[in-house]
Structures are given as C-alpha cells and as structure tokens.
Structure 1
Amino acid sequence: METIIDIDHVSFSYAGEDTRALDDITLTVHPGDMLGIIGPSGAGKSTLAAAMSGAIPHHFGGAFYGAVRVDGRDTCEATLTDISRVVGSVLQDIDAQMVASVVEDEVLFGLENFGVPHDQIEERVSSILETVGIADLRHRELATLSGGQKQKVAIAAILALQPRVLVLDEPTAALDPASSLVVYDTLRAINRELGITIVVIEQKVALLSRYCGRIAVMDAGRIVLDGSPREVFAHASELRAIGVDSPRVARVSNSLAAAGLTDAAEPCLRVDEAVALIERICARHGVTLPAPAEPPVRHAPANDGAAERPAGEPILALRDVSFAYPGGGGSVRNLSLTVYPGELVGIVGQNGAGKTTLTKLVNGLLKPASGSVTVAGLDTRTVRVSQIARHAATLFQNPDHQICRDTVLDEVAFGLELAGVEAAEARRRALPVIERFGLPADEAPFSLSRGQRQMVALASVVVLEPELIILDEPTSGLDYRECMTVMETVRDMARAGSAVLMVCHDMEVVSDFAERIAVMADGEILSVGPASALFADEALMRAARIEPPQVIELAHALERTVSPAFAGLHEVSEVVACVKELVNRG
C-alpha cells in the first residue's frame, strides 16, 4: 500500500542528551489516514511529530539514526521548505505559532512566504476560511478569539498552503468539550472531503476513539501498540500500566468481560454500545427489563447548593457579583457561590462562559463592579491582592506564566520565601512536595515537558498549604498518571481542610473528584449542586453546551431501559457492580 510518511527504524537523541527520545521507531502513515498518537508525558510524541514534519533533523540538532521519508523523499536530504509543502504542523502552543494580529493576515502570511501568485491568494483564503467554518472571523483580531476559534485559525493557516498531511500536537488541550468536538469535526471534514491525511497527538482518548480509524501508543520512545481503537483499548491493563487511560465505556465493557459476563473481544467505545451490551447481558441472565420509559424529569437546584453545604463559615463567598471588561466581552453577571473548608467545587462550562473571570474575581486580580467577594473574611474590593494571597493560592491555566526560577526546587520554595519563610526552611519544606510529584529537584523547569511544568506550578501552590486553592485547568496537558497524581493530591488537601475551587474542561475528572459543581454559560451560573445530579440533567447540559461524563450518561440511560438501580451512579466500578448484582438476582 502507498505511504505518505514512512518512518524506518528511527532513533533520535537531542543534543547534549544521552536518553533516546525516539528509540527504534518504525511506523507508516497511508494517504487518507486519520491517525491518533497517545502515550504518557515524555513518551516521545512531540519528538515523533517533529520528525514527521522535518523539524528533526533541520531545526532540532542531535543524534539521528534511521530514515524518515515524506512522500518518498528522505527528510535528511530534502529541504525543510520542501517537506513543509507536504506536511503542515499545528503546534501545542497555538499562541506561539501565531505571527499576525488579524485572522486574514495570519492566513496570508504563509501564502506570501511560499510565493503563491497574488491572483490565486484571494480565492485560496476565502475557500479555506469557508472550509474550516470561520469565514465570519476573517477580520477579527486574534486576541479577541476563544481557544477553539484560535485553533481553527491555526488549522486554516496551514491548510491554505495545501499540504497533503496535517500533524497536530494536542490541539484540544485547552479547549472545553464542545469546542474540542468542533475542532475534531473540522479535522474529519478536511480528511474526508479534501483527502488530507491527519496525524493528531492527543490525551483525550474518548475523542480519538470517536474520530480516528487508527491509534498508535507510545511509551519511552517506542511504539508499543498500533491498531484500530477497539484493538488498542482492548489492552486496558497494559495502557494503565504505562499511564494511558481508556474511554470510560471501554473500561466498563472490559471489566464485564473480565468478570465473565460477556465474551466480547473488543471493547465498547460509545455509550449506546455499552447500553446495548448491558441490556443483552441482563436479558441473557433472566433479568426482566422494564418497558421503555420517558426520561425522568430532573430539576437541577437553581440555588447555591445550600442543602448539601457543610456547616460552619465559608472560606469563599460570592454574592450577586457582576463584572464587565472595558470594551465589552467576557462579562459575568449575578454570580453567587459559597465554598467551605474541605470542599472541592468544580466550575464547568464552555470556553468563554466566564469561568476564568470568576477565578480572577476570587483571587483579587479583578474587582467586582457590583456585589461582593469575600475570601477568609476579607472583602476583595478593599484589600490588596497580596493580602488575599496569604489565604488563597492560584494555579493559572498556563504554568509558564508563573514559573520564574532556575530550578524546580527554587521554584517550589519561592512562594514560601515570599511569605517570609527562611530560604533553607522553604527548601526543606519544598523537597517532600517535589518528591510526591516525582519531579527532578535540580532540573530547570523549562527543560521539562508541558505536563511536568504544570506539576511544578501545582507543587508551588500545594507547598503553601493555603486555606483556598484556585485551580484553572489543573489537568491540561497531563497524561493519565500525572492527572491522577495531581487530583489525588488536591483531594488530600481538601480532606486536610483546604477549600478547592477548580475550573476544569475534563468532565470525567470533575465527576471523579468534585462533590459539587457550578455550571456556567454566557457569564452566568445556571445551577449549583451535586455533580452527579447536575451532570444527569439533560436540559441543563444542553443549556451549558456540556457533554456529560460517559459513565453518568450510561447510568442515566440504563436507569430508563434496565433498572432504577443505576440511578445516580457515576463510577465505572459502580456500574459494573450493579450489573453483577442484577445478574446474580436474575
């Protein structure tokens, strides 16, 4: 079969490094493929993308062995310009890739640099903006766009050059579920309609299983699995061992197979497949299934979740808070929310819903135009940000915006020093936190991967032992193992008495760890209440444009078609246990 990219026994070590970032990689990509690449942080995924695009060996120096052929040409012999006419790349950091201030100029930049004749440029720009679905953004400033819109601009700018292959490195890391689906719908459309080969590096395994026809799994610089999504996610235990998650419904069907309840060789990848599987299991074991019923009417609590809140005084209280940025955009209205010591409260909603604005109102970086925000009894309108920081610590969405020291140890100790702790004592207290996160104390933070830098930034927050922790996308860019390390640490801090306010786009993480959630849309809090109840409210999820976690969606469907016993379940183990109990009773 014809290949567009042929990687033949490639090994690569960066200059000055002994460890191989790629270790004897052999991989073929065929024209028209939509290939997903997954693996833990540091597995070599971004390095592999750089080898495919010609950035290795032309931009990154090091020891290179084997051969990468793009459209039959060896990348060591072809020029980077020639390679880029075949392979276009969208980097992990979109802002670092942008060179213009207006959408149209961003698309024009590459065309002019590639010497496209002027009489062809207008038609090509108009056509590609239409194809990607952003024709209405043509004259918008990039700074005013959402993360999903910027991602589509970056894709359009590369597609305008008419490459045959598009390589994307974690294109949805900072996007909400709805925006992520829009990006993947766009990728699938250009794959099917334009015939462009897609290679996408991603941590969101449910997305890859939904859109990609083939998945390759990397670990320690090697390809350890390569096949269809069903073939790959059938190896759940091997994936977990190397730090890669599986779609939750795949975990459900794999667990049922391990329990001997089904002989299905391949896992479920969609909720409807898991529903059908469990219905068949129950019917085969004599479980009486109810007649199909209408979905139960659920009314999400429209208050502050008062019925579920702990006793005592809140560490955080927002009371009817409104704020608008100068010039409009990003405003929030009538926000009311309380968070108590020991609570972990999630804030969910689409990009642009106002979540980050809410966190900036909490840490004092923004002052409310009306209403009040109190943190540990302090009114944020009347005290300095530094006073609030003694009680509340913030992990920002981009860890690079808060890293400033030369080593990991110095970075984690820095906050303690600012709080008046002696340098030696600060370093002593920082070391066990660094060890807990598995970080190299003497390494420079910016020499680490994006996921590791995220953990450095979180470690610098954890070491302060604050009364309130504000997390803005704490799991962005993390692999499964890192994500669990981070979230279990956060949960331990809540159990020790800290209040946690967490903005997160990963609904599975929110479902697993948050007791309550606040659902936001269009600058308002639509509802606050128990996570499992609100995620099961279909009308609320539609209003907020949120796709609920797979297990909650599965349990909700099974409640209607199999048994009320599934009501309120939100963990894989709970669903599997419920099926076993029904089968044993049947």
Structure 2
Amino acid sequence: MTDKAVCLKNVRFRYKGSNRWVLDGVSLDVARGECVAVLGPTGSGKSTLCGVMNGTVPLFLEGDLQGDVLVDGMVPAKVGTAKMAAHVGLVFGDPDMQLFGMTVEEDVAFGPANLGLDYPTIMERVHKSLVDMRLTGLERRAPYRLSGGERQATAIAGVYAMLPDIMVLDEPTSMLDPQGKASVFSIIKRLKEELGITVILVEQEVDDVLELADRVFVMNAGRFVLQGTPREVFGRVAEVAAAGVRVPHVVRFGTLLGAERVPFTLDEAVQLVESGGWLSGAWRDTSDDAGAGGEKGTTTTAGHTSNAVSGATSPGHPLGDVIIEVKGLEHRYPQGALALRGVDLTVREGEFIAIIGQNGAGKTTLTRHLNGLLKPTAGDVRIGGRSIKDLTAAQVSRTVGYVFQNPDEQLFCNSVEEELRFGPGNVGLTGEELDRRVEEILQDIGLAGYREVWPKYLTKGERQRLALASVVAMDPAILIVDEPTTGLDWLESLQIMDYLKRLHDDRGKTVLIITHDMNIVSLYARRVVVMAGGRVVGDGSPQEVFSNPGLMAKANLKPPAIAELSVRLCGQVALTPEEAVETLMHLKGAREGLQ
C-alpha cells in the first residue's frame, strides 16, 4: 500500500458539451492521515475535484477527464463508484443529493449496511453518528421534514458511519449553526488523529481551517494558485484576498497592526499586543490590498465594492411604526412537534434584523408565519395591524416577501426575465411600468446579460440573487430572507448582502434575515433576535448579543473571532478587525495621555 492516499497529476476535466476546462492542470499529493483544505470561490473547480476522487466524475457527471488519478491505490474511473464508496466517503455540498431513506436512522444505516457489517455493528455506528452529529430524537423523522442544517448533519452522519479510509467533504458545514460546525470540525480532527483517516475538506469557514488543516490549497479558475501550510498561505494576505477567499479576522487584525509575524490564533493575537510587537508598525491601512478580506467599504475582486459596515454603528433612517407584531405565538406541526412556544416579537418599519439560533430553534417556523405560509396553533401575528388569520398567503405576499433558503424551491420559469415578470404580473403590474421595474432589477442584480438564460444554468450565487430579485420585483414593504449566504463564497455573500443593504438604506425596506454566519450578522444587522427551543431568548444590538456569553451559550452560538478578541484586549465588543484596531489605538492613546 502506497503512503499516498491521493495522487493527482496534471488532471484536466471539462463537462460533456462544454469547451471550458473546469480543472486545468491540477496536481495534488495527499499523505495518509493528512487533512488538506481546499478553498476558493464558487466555480473554481472544487466540487468537480471532489467528484474526481470517488469516480462520480466522469462516471455519472460525464465529460473529458485527462491526467492521472490514483486514490487509495485505485483509479476511480476504472473500478467504479460502488467499489470506491468503501474507500472514499463523499459528502456533497447539497445534502438533498444523498438523502433518500424514509427516516434519519434508515439513511444513516444505509452505508454501513451496504458494507456487509453485522446488525449490532451497524446500529452501534448509527447511534454514535447520531449522537456526535446532535441528531438524537430525530431518528424516526423523515429527512424531508428536517431543517436544512439537520439534513446536512444527517448526510455527514451517513458517511461518518461508514468510517472510510478517505473522507472528502464538500462544504459540509454550509447549513450548520456554529455549534454544529464545531461538532463537525471536532469529528474531523478526531478521525484524523485517532483513526488515521485522510480528510480532504472543501470549506468557506477559513477561521476553522487555520487550526484543522495540515495544508491549504487555494483554487481559482480550475487551478491551484496558492498552496502550503495554513501559516504560509494566509501569511500572503493580498493574494488570498485576490483569489476571492475571506481573510480570517485574526490574520486581518495582525496585518492591520503591521505585525512582522501575523497571528493565527486568538492567543497569538493577544500575545502580539501585550508584547508590544505591533507598535512600530501600527497602524497599517491595508484597504487597497485587502480585497475580499476587507470589510468596511473595501474593493473586492472582480471590481465588486462591498458596502458592509458594522450594522449597529452605521447610520440609517429613523424607524417607523410597528409593522409586525407577534404575540404568544405557538405552532405544532401535524406530527406533534411543538416548534414555537409562546413567541413575542415586535418589528418596526425600517429595521434590519438578523434572527439567529441553532438548527431547530424555530427560526424558519417563526418567519413562515409572518408571510402566511403557516398558521398559528395559538397566539397571533399582525402585519400592519391586521391579523394573519384574516389574510390569505396571496394577500400577505403583497406586503411580506419571502425568499427560501434553497433558491431552486422558488425558481420555475424558463428564463431570468420571465422569472422577474411572474410575481408583479400576478399582482396586476403591466406595460411600461412592469418593463421598467424588470430592467431596473436586472441591472441591480448584475444579471442583465442573462435575461434569456434558463435559471437552472446559473451558479448558486446567481440563482440566490435571482430568487431574491423575483420577490423584490413585487415591491413588498418587508423582505424575509432565509439563509441568504448558504453555499456562497465570500464575494457572493457580500454581493447579495450589499443588495439587501441598498434595498434597506435607499428604498426603506424592512429586512429580516435568518443566518448562521456571525460575520454577516456583525457587518449588516442593526438588531439581533436570538432563538432557542422555540422561544426568543435574546434581543439587542450585535454588540449587546455578542458580549453576553450566557446568552450565546444558551443558544449554542459562538460570536465572531474578532468579537472575542476585542473583549480580551479592550473589554468591549468590536464587530470588524478595523473597529478592533481603532479601539485598541484609542485606548493606547488614552493611556499614554494619563502618563
């Protein structure tokens, strides 16, 4: 047996019917027991690379594969995916691609059962996988009745239960809450250290990659543009950002301070400041080379300028009257699960609110009451002073626009332009006014050149923008967006959040987002509603919420790294690296003034 788990040499691949090489000369050696992270923007070739390693590409996703591919001593395209499945466990970015059992337990048991294991061993593995992935209590639930994060956890559990020699995980945490992400990364670390399993991890969560991966590869346009240890790769801040990868908060903080040795952990950053090793360089304005790592009005790659400013401190319009009022809301699903337990919530016109909480906390159930998709079991919801019980979903949709977590659930027309016309056309908009609105939105979302394209041909980020725009086209006063950045790279996340921010700032829309990304919360939200166990357990500004460790622990959440760092250094929450450095410099100046 070779000491290399994966060996790729000059691999090229293009999909059937396409002239574009999705992989263009990729070479990669992965040692047994190594954890390798692959980063890069959407469309860079990461998922195709994962498929090559278990034979899905080109055996199921057909195309022209060139170069040498050797995985666990076998050529996947020759031995077939059935044999490779016993050696390479692949977790897809979209969990719905690999969930088909009638229950969660059945789905998780499918893999080990097909390995020919005896029943006690199968059930032992199933039980451990469910416990480790925090799925206990959901064993008998149908996968389609799970939340997005719970479905993703089930998909991971199914592969985890097989204990393959090599695990290939394609953005396995994109739908998980912070606690769920921590569980997955803890499992990956244990699989590597205790069982010697080789891990190839495609991720957008760069902060966790720093401590988990042995090596990091950054892809762009089908090629590796950076590779090395995490310290070697992320030490090249400008190049990482230019490749469309978010620079970790701690690294960005050290770079802004002009540190000779950039910190990679919170402890290293604290030590840097306490030792005074940053004083000669502080403070260095890196806004010109920060790219995707910059977070306050910085220019990103592809000419995109982010308007992100920490939400709680940014200026805005004065709030208007109460537009949403929730009182004593309870909801029990037909299967008997009580999802909401007496929720009270008031929303005023012009607010920008982030609703956060772990998977299953009731976030989506709550917001689906706000547009009439669900009806209360008890309590009431009032929109603009009218009870939701007296309104149809069609009537509510004129005031409340709802964008689903999965854009494919609401895109069904034959072209982008037709998709944008459908909603306003159904509420009576016609003629020049409809033409003007559609054209304006096409320009706003950057899809004017795709007006005749079938939406299924768009990238995930483009489909997400189209789904949002199709709702915006109806001009509702309230926009509710469920996980707007799930499965998107950092630049795409900034694009869609900047669009929401413009709608809020320029057109006075009331915006509510559900998100697990605390970095997005810190940059855009002006108010944060925290949910746990079907109840609202916290409500305040991002600073107030992130500075309350008891509340965060109760909701199984974790604040952004920069918030934790700023509390340790300055005794107060900063929402961006820039804000943390400014606070630090202010405190330094104040102390010097007292001496």
Give the TM-score range, shorter chain: 0.7 to 0.9
| Aligned residue in 2 for 1:229 | 230
Write the distance in 2 (CA, Å) between the matches of 1:505 and 1:145.
16
The match for 1:478 among 481, 485, 488 is: 488
Write the distance in 2 (CA, Å) between the matches of 1:140 and 1:212.
35
Q: State whether structure 2 residue 515 is matched by structure 1 residue 515.
A: no
Q: By how many angstroms is 1:95 displaced?
A: 2.5
Q: For residues 148 and 484 of structure 1, do their structure 2 counterparts lie closer, same or farther at Cα, with a shift above 3 Å needed?
A: closer
Q: By how many angstroms is 1:516 displaced?
A: 0.8
Q: In structure 1, give the amino acid aligned to 2:374.
A: L
The match for 1:361 among 331, 345, 369 is: 369
Whether the 8 Å CA contact 1:282–1:583 is kept in 2: the answer is no
Q: Which moved more, 1:167-176 or 1:368-377?
A: 368-377
Q: State whether structure 2 residue 454 is matched by structure 1 residue 447.
A: no
Write the distance in 1 (CA, Å) between the matches of 2:149 and 2:211.
19
Write the distance in 2 (CA, Å) between the matches of 1:177 and 1:375.
31
| Aligned residue in 1 for 2:260 | 263
Q: In structure 1, give the amino acid aligned to 2:396.
A: I
Q: By how many angstroms is 1:311 displaced?
A: 4.9
| Aligned residue in 2 for 1:274 | 269
Q: In structure 1, give the amino acid aligned to 2:513.
A: M
Alignment of 1:69-108 (within 5 A): 69-108=70-109
Q: By how many angstroms is 1:339 displaced?
A: 2.0
Structure 1 counterpart SS, 2:354: strand
Percent identity (aligned):
35
Q: By how many angstroms is 1:133 displaced?
A: 3.1
| Aligned residue in 1 for 2:311 | none
Q: For residues 137 and 545 of structure 1, do their structure 2 counterparts lie closer, same or farther at Cα, with a shift above 3 Å needed?
A: closer
Q: In structure 1, give the amino acid aligned to 2:270.
A: V
Q: For residues 476 and 240 of structure 1, do their structure 2 counterparts lie closer, same or farther at Cα, with a shift above 3 Å needed?
A: same
Structure 2 counterpart SS, 1:133: helix
| Aligned residue in 2 for 1:574 | 579
Q: By how many angstroms is 1:466 displaced?
A: 1.8
| Aligned residue in 2 for 1:381 | 389
Write the distance in 2 (CA, Å) between the matches of 1:284 and 1:452.
44
Q: In structure 2, give the amino acid aligned to 1:354.
A: G
Write the distance in 1 (CA, Å) between the matches of 2:113 and 2:425.
51
Q: State whether structure 2 residue 475 is matched by structure 1 residue 465.
A: yes
Q: For residues 137 and 361 of structure 1, do their structure 2 counterparts lie closer, same or farther at Cα, with a shift above 3 Å needed?
A: closer
Whether the 8 Å CA contact 1:335–1:524 is kept in 2: the answer is yes
Give deviations 1:477-502, integer Å, cap 9, x for gaps. 11111111111111111112110111
Q: For residues 487 and 84 of structure 1, do their structure 2 counterparts lie closer, same or farther at Cα, with a shift above 3 Å needed?
A: same
Q: In structure 2, give the amino acid aligned to 1:453.
A: R
Write the distance in 2 (CA, Å) between the matches of 1:29 and 1:370.
56
Q: In structure 2, give the amino acid aligned to 1:362.
A: L
Write the distance in 2 (CA, Å) between the matches of 1:309 and 1:438.
26
| Aligned residue in 2 for 1:241 | 242
Q: By how many angstroms is 1:531 displaced?
A: 1.5
Write the distance in 2 (CA, Å) between the matches of 1:345 and 1:136.
31
Which stretches in structure 2 are left out of the alignment for 5+ residues? Answer: 283-315
Give deviations 1:238-265, integer Å, cap 9, x for gaps. 22223210221111112112xxxx211x
Q: For residues 450 and 125 of structure 1, do their structure 2 counterparts lie closer, same or farther at Cα, with a shift above 3 Å needed?
A: farther
Whether the 8 Å CA contact 1:378–1:388 is kept in 2: the answer is no
Write the distance in 1 (CA, Å) between the matches of 2:264 and 2:95.
29
Alignment of 1:104-253 (within 5 A): 104-114=105-115, 116=116, 120-127=118-125, 129-130=127-128, 133=131, 139-143=139-143, 147-253=148-254
Q: By how many angstroms is 1:132 displaced?
A: 6.2
Write the distance in 2 (CA, Å) between the matches of 1:546 and 1:317.
26
Q: By how many angstroms is 1:137 displaced?
A: 5.8
Whether the 8 Å CA contact 2:455–2:463 is kept in 1: the answer is yes
Q: Which moved more, 1:146-155 or 1:226-235?
A: 146-155
Whether the 8 Å CA contact 2:108–2:157 is kept in 1: the answer is yes
Write the distance in 2 (CA, Å) between the matches of 1:337 and 1:543.
19
Q: For residues 413 and 33 of structure 1, do their structure 2 counterparts lie closer, same or farther at Cα, with a shift above 3 Å needed?
A: farther
Q: By how many angstroms is 1:429 displaced?
A: 2.5
Whether the 8 Å CA contact 2:481–2:514 is kept in 1: the answer is yes
| Alignment size in residue pairs | 550
The match for 2:542 among 522, 526, 531 is: 531
Whether the 8 Å CA contact 1:339–1:501 is kept in 2: the answer is no
| Aligned residue in 1 for 2:310 | none
Write the distance in 1 (CA, Å) between the matches of 2:452 and 2:263.
44
Structure 1 counterpart SS, 2:257: helix
Write the distance in 2 (CA, Å) between the matches of 1:554 and 1:10.
42
Q: In structure 2, give the amino acid aligned to 1:74.
A: V
Q: For residues 371 and 251 of structure 1, do their structure 2 counterparts lie closer, same or farther at Cα, with a shift above 3 Å needed?
A: same
Q: For residues 424 and 158 of structure 1, do their structure 2 counterparts lie closer, same or farther at Cα, with a shift above 3 Å needed?
A: farther
Q: Which moved more, 1:23-32 or 1:316-325?
A: 316-325
Q: In structure 2, give the amino acid aligned to 1:345.
A: I
Give deviations 1:12-42, integer Å, cap 9, x for gaps. 1111112111111111111111112111111
Write the distance in 2 (CA, Å) between the matches of 1:98 and 1:406.
28
Which stretches in structure 1 are left out of the alignment for 5+ residues? Answer: 288-307, 561-566
Q: By how many angstroms is 1:237 displaced?
A: 2.0
Q: In structure 2, give the amino acid aligned to 1:447.
A: Y
Whether the 8 Å CA contact 1:330–1:354 is kept in 2: the answer is no
Q: By how many angstroms is 1:200 displaced?
A: 1.6
Q: For residues 112 and 536 of structure 1, do their structure 2 counterparts lie closer, same or farther at Cα, with a shift above 3 Å needed?
A: closer
Write the distance in 1 (CA, Å) between the matches of 2:375 and 2:421.
29
Q: By how many angstroms is 1:139 displaced?
A: 4.7
TM-score, normalising length: structure 1: 0.87
| Aligned residue in 2 for 1:299 | none
Q: State whether structure 2 residue 403 is matched by structure 1 residue 407.
A: no
Q: State whether structure 2 residue 502 is matched by structure 1 residue 492.
A: yes
Write the distance in 2 (CA, Å) between the matches of 1:99 and 1:214.
34
Q: By how many angstroms is 1:273 displaced?
A: 2.5
Whether the 8 Å CA contact 2:479–2:509 is kept in 1: the answer is yes
Write the distance in 1 (CA, Å) between the matches of 2:581 and 2:402.
37
Q: By how many angstroms is 1:149 displaced?
A: 4.9
Q: State whether structure 2 residue 37 is matched by structure 1 residue 32.
A: no
Write the distance in 2 (CA, Å) between the matches of 1:498 and 1:155.
38
Write the distance in 1 (CA, Å) between the matches of 2:509 and 2:11.
48
Whether the 8 Å CA contact 1:125–1:160 is kept in 2: the answer is no
Alignment of 1:297-316 (within 5 A): 310-316=318-324
| Aligned residue in 2 for 1:42 | 43
Write the distance in 2 (CA, Å) between the matches of 1:87 and 1:363.
43
Write the distance in 2 (CA, Å) between the matches of 1:282 and 1:269.
15
Write the distance in 1 (CA, Å) between the matches of 2:197 and 2:122.
16
Whether the 8 Å CA contact 2:152–2:175 is kept in 1: the answer is no
Q: State whether structure 2 residue 556 is matched by structure 1 residue 545.
A: yes
Q: In structure 2, give the amino acid aligned to 1:173.
A: S
Q: In structure 1, give the amino acid aligned to 2:207.
A: A
Structure 1 counterpart SS, 2:58: helix
CA-based RMSD:
2.6
Give deviations 1:131-151, integer Å, cap 9, x for gaps. 663595695334365555544
Q: For residues 131 and 479 of structure 1, do their structure 2 counterparts lie closer, same or farther at Cα, with a shift above 3 Å needed?
A: closer
Q: By how many angstroms is 1:163 displaced?
A: 2.2
Write the distance in 2 (CA, Å) between the matches of 1:314 and 1:282.
51
Give deviations 1:105-147, integer Å, cap 9, x for gaps. 3244334545x26xx3432441453266359569533436555
Q: By how many angstroms is 1:433 displaced?
A: 2.5
Q: In structure 2, give the amino acid aligned to 1:516.
A: R
Write the distance in 2 (CA, Å) between the matches of 1:94 and 1:5.
24
Q: By how many angstroms is 1:328 displaced?
A: 2.9
